[in-house]
Amino acid sequence: MELPLPCRSRFFFPISSLIIITLLSCSVLGVNGIPGNETDRLALLEFKAFLSDPLGVLDSWNITIHFCQWYGVTCGRRHRRVIALDLRSLNLGGIISPSIGNLTFLRVLNIQNNSFHSRIPPEVGHLYRLRGLHLNNNSLDGPIPPSLSRCFNLVILRIHFNMLAGNLPTELSSLSKLKGLILYANGFTGPIPGSYGNLSSLVNLGTTRNELGGMIPDTLGNLQNLKVLSLGANNFVGTIPTSIFNISSLESLDVTKNQLVGSLPSDLGFTLPVLQFLSFGLNHFTGPIPKTLSNLSDLTLFNINRNNFTGEAPSFQKMNELRRVTIGSNHLGGRQVGDLDFLCTLTNSTKLETLTFHSNNFKGNIPECISNLSTTLKSFSSVKNMLSGGLPGTIGNLINLEQFFMDGNNISGNIPSEIGNLARLKQLYLGWNEFSEEIPHTMGNLSMLTHLSLRSNSLQGAIPSSLSKCRSLLLLDLADNKLSGAIPPEIMEISSLSIYADFSSNNLTDKLPMEVGNLKNLGILILQDNRISGEIPSSLGSCIMMENLYMQDNLFEGSIPSTLGNLKGIRNLNLSNNMLSGRIPKFLEDLNLTSLGLALNEFEGAVPTGGIFKNASATSLIGNKHLCGGLAEFRLPKCNTEEPRRVGTMNSARIIIISSVSGLLGLLLILVLLYILWCKRQRKAAASEFSRDGLWKVSYQSLLKATNGFSSINLIGSGSFGLVFRGVFDWNQTIVAVKVLNLKRYRAAKSFISECEALRNIRHRNLVKVITACSGTDYQGNDFKALIYEFMVNGSLDGWLHPIVKTIKTKEEAPRQLTLLQRLNISIDVASALDYLHNQCDVPIVHCDLKPSNVLLDDEMTAHVGDFGLVRFLPEATRESIADPSSSIGVKGSLGYIAPGKIKTLHSSCLLCPFFYYLFKGQMKARLTK
Ligand SMILES: *[C@@H]1O[C@H](CO)[C@@H](O)[C@H](O)[C@H]1NC(C)=O
Ligand SMILES: *[C@@H]1O[C@H](CO)[C@@H](O)[C@H](O)[C@H]1NC(C)=O
Ligand SMILES: *[C@@H]1O[C@H](CO)[C@@H](O)[C@H](O)[C@H]1NC(C)=O
Ligand SMILES: *[C@@H]1O[C@H](CO)[C@@H](O)[C@H](O)[C@H]1NC(C)=O
Ligand SMILES: *[C@@H]1O[C@H](CO)[C@@H](O)[C@H](O)[C@H]1NC(C)=O
Ligand SMILES: *[C@@H]1O[C@H](CO)[C@@H](O)[C@H](O)[C@H]1NC(C)=O
């Protein structure tokens, strides 16, 4: 442990001993008597040496210009010492060097929005002049160093959006000038120290999105300058201390998503008069909403979603600044008369954007005044209440509505045609009500609509063909109504339909239009329980994204079209209870089905025996009189003997061949096993560190030793999911690279699994060889996962393309350059690795993260592709559909889905070009300039 002197004495020691020189030369001296400006220069260079700087902004930090002119550096005018360092948003990586502590005149350090990792060095505590420390939006981990408490001039500490952890140090309570303590989105645990009530200057305390817990300390009530108190998304328990409700300066109080209980003080509206932002959502608060709330005329946000509040909704009459009112999922209302009066008190809130009061007990008719709500309204939800009466046509006034949710009420009458005026509507949910009459044609005007659900009403008449003009629809749900007539062919032109289309439980008749084949993005089509007749259109085979197809309980006839064999992604297919006939097609065996319904039809002939037909519980066949064969569980009669006999004789011939071949194979297998056993024994004698499957066995302990306790000297890289160390196993002196996964990153564990999975079965000279993996717990009992690779002496390609200048000295060495031949060889190596992954593995593998930093070079400059953390496997089915040019589909990125086949083509053509361009760029430039 270092025992640093307090900032003051470090500084005053040289001052007092060299005071005369100081006075004479008018310069400020740094530690050890070196002129202070020199200390600063060295400290900055040391700081730079620990950075990676892909944009090269720190190239200006060189000897040719004075450090006060270096990018991001500000010096004091008189003494030429660094007073501010502003390196925000520069894509910098690496660690914060402890040398930062030698910039003793520093007042502001801003390195926000970069990729710094590892710890905040305790040496920051030497910066006693520091006023602003902005480390937010990096990947820093470890605790807040308690030494920060010695920076007693600190006014603002912003360390949000990092991966910092541990308890909040009580020592910080001595920072009497601190105004902003912004900690949100880290992994801090434990309570808020009660002593933070001493931070008398504090204006903003932000701890949202951590894992803090315990009671909220009532000493926080002492913070009489506090304006913002954000405690949301933690694990706080108990009640909010009453002292908090007495901080009359409070403008924002956010305790969302904790486990708080209790009710709100009835005088809240008087004790917190300037409140603008009040968020109590996702807790267990009970009791009524205080009447005095209506006094808060500055309120812009009122959120009490998901609590157990009871009684009436408050009056919002005086709150003309309101933007969001969210009071859903409580027990409000229930008196019938006057329940919805609060809606009319919102008509003067001319900035209102969101109004949700779903899942309460509000009763009564929808008041006409809702059409007087501000036209700024974008989102309205009254889902799951007991609203009744009709939906007023004046709803069409709210022309900026984007989401309108009214599911699960008792609203009756027609859907007003004025709904067509809501041109910006994206989501319209009117399901589970009592709407009757026809669907208005004006719905076709809603060209931005993506989600339309009218299910479980009593709508009648035909489906309006104008709906086809809703060209953005992803989801269409008309199920469980009384709709009749044919499904208009125009509906099938909505090629954006992808999530699902549900027409079930209506009285629809006629044929399924041929145009159904246009629904190429549709995943689920539900037609069940109608009276649709005719043959199943063969065009249905073009719906290649189909996963679930439910056509049961209709009047379909004819045979199953062979084109359905193209639906390679289909999982559930139900054709039960129709009038289908003919043989059950063989191709159903080859589809990757999880359930198949063919019951209650008129199928005949032999039941196939492969694929889904091997699973009797997933296949229903009952009620087909002329089927035979299949699994015994189907209890079908044996097929007539003509064919089977021939099959029998063939079988006996086969049996002879099969048995002799398998005998030979068996013998071979035994020999191989014996050989392997022998090898094992030999090897065991050689090195006891090999485990039984030929992999090295390594423990956390041995990795700790090999990497010198994961020391930063051995740190050779940091990837998206963890750190990479160089290590040497002393039992065989092998040099390895150890990738330690940062399990705090939620994707890291997944990445570990996918990397193990990917590397288990693949071997290629141009892929990085994994020696073994280690998964267990470290000495603190935390999960620990690491992958151990061959060590690549020449580092990553990235390092060659963008050499990092470590110090001034190495700068003078000739920079490493790749020759054209080497570049060519590297690209051939990378290409053959990809060819192997894409075309020669059992399951094609897509790397998904190919970039120079993932290409490593060995001592002979052979390239090896590594880092399989984002790898994807392509299922067999999609691979075939790629080969079939007829099934090519556009890349529908906007639907949130790119067909896997497309990813593959993208990967091998488009993604590689920039990669190679990148690789040769330097070389080309060099040639051109020559
Ligand atoms: C540091 O200050 C001394 C004395 O003023 C001066 O001679 C020297 O050139 C300065 N060096 C730098 C790097 O500014
Ligand atoms: C030093 O930085 C300056 C300013 O960016 C630049 O013009 C100059 O080329 C750099 N010198 C060296 C040797 O890199
Ligand atoms: C963060 O940095 C990136 C560049 O690294 C920049 O594009 C982005 O605008 C920055 N974000 C903010 C909020 O400053
Ligand atoms: C800070 O300055 C001290 C005294 O000159 C020196 O010993 C130390 O190496 C410097 N620290 C760093 C990290 O540069
Ligand atoms: C920090 O990250 C958050 C969340 O990613 C983002 O909203 C914010 O703009 C970022 N701030 C800066 C300064 O980059
Ligand atoms: C809206 O404001 C007007 C003018 O200030 C006032 O007369 C009216 O009563 C208010 N209406 C509501 C519902 O608050």
Model confidence pLDDT, tens digit, residues 231-258? 999 999 999 999 999 999 999 999 999 9
Cα angle: 711, vertex 717, 723; to 5 degrees: 65
Q: DSSP H helical segments within 513-593, as ranges?
A: none
Identify the residue whose C-alpha is closest to ligand 5 atom 12. 113
Q: Which ligand is nearest to the CA of 70?
A: 2
| Whether 181 contacts 208, CB under 8 Å | no
Place of tokens 């054709």: 575
Q: In angstroms, what is the span from residue 803 Cα to ligand 4's centroid? A: 26
Residue 915 has pLDDT above 80, yes or no: no
Domains of the chain (ranges; CATH) run 39-278 (3.80.10.10), 584-638 (no CATH), 700-791 (3.30.200.20), 820-929 (1.10.510)
Q: Number of C-alpha atoms within 13 angstroms, CB side, residue 880?
A: 10
- Return the pLDDT at 925: 42
Residue 649 has pLDDT above 80, yes or no: no
Identify the residue whose C-alpha is closest to ligand 3 atom 13. 113
Residue 482 has pLDDT above 50, yes or no: yes
List pLDDT tens digits, range 374-431: 999 999 999 999 999 999 999 999 999 999 999 999 999 999 999 999 999 999 999 9
Write out residues with Cβ below 6 Å of ligand 5.
112-113, 137, 161
CA distances from 276 to 118, 245, 281 (A): 38, 14, 16
CA distance 736 to 717: 13
Question: Closest ligand 2 atom to the C-alpha of 62?
Answer: 1
**Which has the closest alpha carbon to 313: 276, 363, 368?**
363
Q: Is the CB of 348 under 6 A from ligand 6?
A: yes
CA distance 609 to 605: 12
Q: In angstroms, what is the span from residue 10 Cα to ligand 4's centroid? A: 12
Question: Closest ligand 6 atom to the C-alpha of 346?
Answer: 13
Q: Is the CB of 372 under 6 A from ligand 6?
A: no
Question: Which of 111, 112, 113, 115 maximizes ligand 3 atoms within 8 Å of its Cβ, making it the mutation to test the pocket?
Answer: 113
Identify the residue whose C-alpha is closest to ligand 2 atom 7. 60
- Return the pLDDT at 787: 76
Residue 57 has pLDDT above 70, yes or no: yes
Confidence band of 784 (pLDDT split at 50, 70, 90): confident
Q: Which ligand is nearest to the CA of 5?
A: 4
Does 849 participate in catalysis according to the annotation?
yes
Question: Closest ligand 5 atom to the C-alpha of 185?
Answer: 4
Identify the residue whose C-alpha is closest to ligand 2 atom 6. 60
Identify the residue whose C-alpha is closest to ligand 4 atom 12. 99
Cα angle: 324, vertex 326, 330; to 5 degrees: 165
Q: In angstroms, what is the span from residue 62 Cα to ligand 2's centroid? A: 6
Residue 1 has pLDDT above 50, yes or no: no
Q: Is the CB of 908 under 6 A from ligand 3?
A: no
List pLDDT tens digits, range 209-227: 999 999 999 999 999 999 9
- Higher per-residue pLDDT: 740 or 84: 84
Q: Is the CB of 345 under 6 A from ligand 6?
A: yes
Q: Is the CB of 43 under 6 A from ligand 4?
A: yes
Place of tokens 């300039």: 929
Packing angle of the helix pair 820-835, 912-929 (nearest 10 deg): 170
- Return the pLDDT at 290: 95
Question: Which of 318, 321, 342, 348 maximizes ligand 6 atoms within 8 Å of its Cβ, making it the mutation to test the pocket?
Answer: 348
Identify the residue whose C-alpha is closest to ligand 3 atom 7. 89
Question: Closest ligand 4 atom to the C-alpha of 123?
Answer: 13
Confidence band of 797 (pLDDT split at 50, 70, 90): confident
Taking the CB of residue 88, how many other CB atoms lie within 10 A of it?
A: 14
Residue 107 has pLDDT above 90, yes or no: yes
Residue 8 has pLDDT above 60, yes or no: no
Q: In angstroms, what is the span from residue 55 Cα to ligand 1's centroid? A: 30
Q: In angstroms, what is the span from residue 130 Cα to ligand 2's centroid? A: 30
Residue 874 has pLDDT above 60, yes or no: no
Q: Is the CB of 104 under 6 A from ligand 4?
A: no
Question: Closest ligand 4 atom to the C-alpha of 30?
Answer: 5
Percent helix / strand / coil, the chain, rounded to 5:
30, 25, 45
Identify the residue whose C-alpha is closest to ligand 5 atom 6. 137
Q: Is the CB of 54 under 6 A from ligand 3?
A: no
Q: Dihedral (C-alpha) 895, 900, 902, 906: value to the nearest 10 degrees?
A: 110
- Higher per-residue pLDDT: 841 or 186: 186
Amino acid type, 648: G
Q: Which ligand is nearest to the CA of 89?
A: 3
Confidence band of 571 (pLDDT split at 50, 70, 90): very high
483-497, 602-616, 680-694, 754-768: segment of lowest average pLDDT: 680-694
| Whether 844 contacts 837, CB under 8 Å | yes
- Higher per-residue pLDDT: 902 or 136: 136
- Higher per-residue pLDDT: 687 or 377: 377
Q: Percent of the chain beyond pLDDT 90?
A: 62
| Whether 376 contacts 399, CB under 8 Å | no
739 is in an annotated binding site: yes
Q: Dihedral (C-alpha) 747, 749, 754, 757: value to the nearest 10 degrees?
A: 180
CA distance 853 to 866: 9
**Which has the closest alpha carbon to 624: 581, 662, 681, 654?**
581
Question: Which of 5, 29, 31 maximizes ligand 4 atoms within 8 Å of its Cβ, making it the mutation to test the pocket?
Answer: 31
Q: In angstroms, what is the span from residue 30 Cα to ligand 4's centroid? A: 10
Q: Which ligand is nearest to the CA of 318?
A: 6
Amino acid type, 274: V
Q: Is the CB of 62 under 6 A from ligand 2?
A: yes
pTM, full prediction: 0.67
Question: Closest ligand 3 atom to the C-alpha of 113?
Answer: 1
Q: In angstroms, what is the span from residue 921 Cα to ligand 2's centroid? A: 22
- Return the pLDDT at 676: 66
**Which has the closest alpha carbon to 895: 524, 585, 611, 473?**
473
Q: In angstroms, what is the span from residue 27 Cα to ligand 1's centroid? A: 8
Q: In angstroms, what is the span from residue 37 Cα to ligand 1's centroid? A: 6
DSSP string, 67-79: GGGSTTEEE-TTT
Q: In angstroms, what is the span from residue 397 Cα to ligand 6's centroid? A: 19
CA distance 727 to 737: 6
Identify the residue whose C-alpha is closest to ligand 6 atom 4. 348
Place of tokens 């400290």: 43
Residue 669 has pLDDT above 90, yes or no: no
Residue 808 has pLDDT above 80, yes or no: no
Beta bridge partners of 872: 846
251-265, 600-614, 806-820: segment of lowest average pLDDT: 806-820
Residue 694 has pLDDT above 60, yes or no: no
Cα angle: 479, vertex 480, 483; to 5 degrees: 80
Confidence band of 15 (pLDDT split at 50, 70, 90): very low
Confidence band of 889 (pLDDT split at 50, 70, 90): very low
Burial 870-892 (b: 16+ CB within 10 A, else e): bbeebeebbbebbeeeebeeeeb
- Return the pLDDT at 806: 40
Q: Which tokens in the block code for residue 157?
A: 């500490």
- Return the pLDDT at 737: 82
Place of tokens 């000038």: 177
Write out residues with Cβ below 6 Å of ligand 1.
27, 35, 37-38, 41, 66, 80
Q: What one-character DSSP code corresponds to residue 896?
A: T
Q: In angstroms, what is the span from residue 101 Cα to ligand 4's centroid? A: 8
Residue 690 has pLDDT above 50, yes or no: no
Q: Which ligand is nearest to the CA of 46?
A: 4
Phi-psi region of 311 (alpha: psi -120 to 50; beta: other; left: phi over 0): left
Confidence band of 98 (pLDDT split at 50, 70, 90): very high
Identify the residue whose C-alpha is closest to ligand 6 atom 6. 348
Identify the residue whose C-alpha is closest to ligand 4 atom 11. 99
CB burial of residue 595 (10 Å; 0-12, 13-18, 19+) = middle
Amino acid type, 1: M
Residue 873 has pLDDT above 60, yes or no: no
Question: Closest ligand 6 atom to the C-alpha of 345?
Answer: 13
Amino acid type, 47: F
Residue 758 has pLDDT above 80, yes or no: no
List pLDDT tens digits, range 281-323: 999 999 999 999 999 999 999 999 999 999 999 999 999 999 9
Identify the residue whose C-alpha is closest to ligand 4 atom 4. 31
HEC assignment per residue over 407-458: CCCCCEECCCHHHHHCCCCCEEECCCCEEEEECCHHHHHCCCCCEEECCCCE
Q: Number of C-alpha atoms within 13 angstroms, CB side, residue 776?
A: 13
Identify the residue whose C-alpha is closest to ligand 6 atom 5. 348
Q: What is the mean pLDDT of the chain?
A: 83
| Whether 591 contacts 612, CB under 8 Å | yes
Confidence band of 438 (pLDDT split at 50, 70, 90): very high
Q: In angstroms, what is the span from residue 110 Cα to ligand 5's centroid? A: 14
Q: Is the CB of 347 under 6 A from ligand 6?
A: yes
Question: Which of 41, 45, 53, 59 maximizes ligand 2 atoms within 8 Å of its Cβ, making it the mutation to test the pocket?
Answer: 59
Q: Is the CB of 65 under 6 A from ligand 2?
A: yes
Residue 829 has pLDDT above 80, yes or no: yes
Confidence band of 679 (pLDDT split at 50, 70, 90): low
Strands 734-741 and 783-790: antiparallel
Residue 880 has pLDDT above 50, yes or no: no
Confidence band of 919 (pLDDT split at 50, 70, 90): low
Burial 831-857 (b: 16+ CB within 10 A, else e): bbbbebbbeeeeebbbbebbebbbbbb
| Per annotation, catalytic residue among 40, 849, 858, 859 | 849
Q: Is the CB of 60 under 6 A from ligand 2?
A: yes
Question: Closest ligand 3 atom to the C-alpha of 89?
Answer: 2
